[in-house]
Amino acid sequence: MTQLRKIYNYYLPGMFQSDYNMSMDDTIERYRNHLKEVQTENSSSVEDAQWQHLKNETESMAKKIELLEITKRKLLGEGLGSSTIDELQKLEQQLERSVSIIRARKMQVYNEQIQELQAKERLLASQNAMLSSKRLVQTQEKIDEQRAMLQMIECGESSDVETELFIGLPEKRMKIDRQK
């Protein structure tokens, strides 16, 4: 229905301009050209609105950045000459709050590090106890071996082994073997 209205609104002015004998193809072509013009006008107005919005957004951001830079300079102690007593007191209070937050975070980090080191200390202590017990077992085994050796020596058991080895010249050895 809306397309018919558009055609009707478009076609009627042509009729009054003595275009009574217009063919259907000419009418459709005129309608298409008219639609293109309307779309171009609409799209350019939308683009203009978008550009205007972006321009406003940019200006707003620029103002915010400028305010942030002024605040930053004041926090760094720069550009305080034009500040009033109230502004300076507010700035001092803000800095004190910031310092207390920083100190709290620093203490939290220190406490976390202390807990990590205590856990590491407990781990090392348990490893040390385990190694000490192993060393004690090894020492006890060596002591037991040495006691066994001492008992063997005290009981008169000899660790000498009899062999048929003879020290000296072979001639003597043969004489000794013949005598046996």
- Residue 127's pLDDT is 97
Judge whether 70 and 79 are in contact, CB under 8 Å. yes
- For 112-161, the pLDDT digits (tens) are 999 999 999 999 999 999 999 999 999 999 999 999 888 887 776 555 66
Query: Which of 65-69, 79-83, 101-105, 162-166 is most confident?
Result: 101-105
Judge whether 85 and 102 are in contact, CB under 8 Å. no
More confident position, 97 or 37: 97
Residue 6 φ/ψ region, left for φ over 0, alpha for ψ in the -120 to 50 degree band, beta for the rest: alpha
Identify how many contiguous H helices and E strands the chain contains and give both numbers. 4, 0
- For 3-42, the pLDDT digits (tens) are 555 555 555 555 444 444 456 777 778 888 877 777 777 6
- Across all residues in the chain, what is the average pLDDT? 80
Q: What's this model's pTM, rounded to 2 decimal places? A: 0.44
What distances in angstroms separate CA 2 from CA 12, 46, 58, 116, 178, one per listed residue? Answer: 15, 22, 39, 75, 144
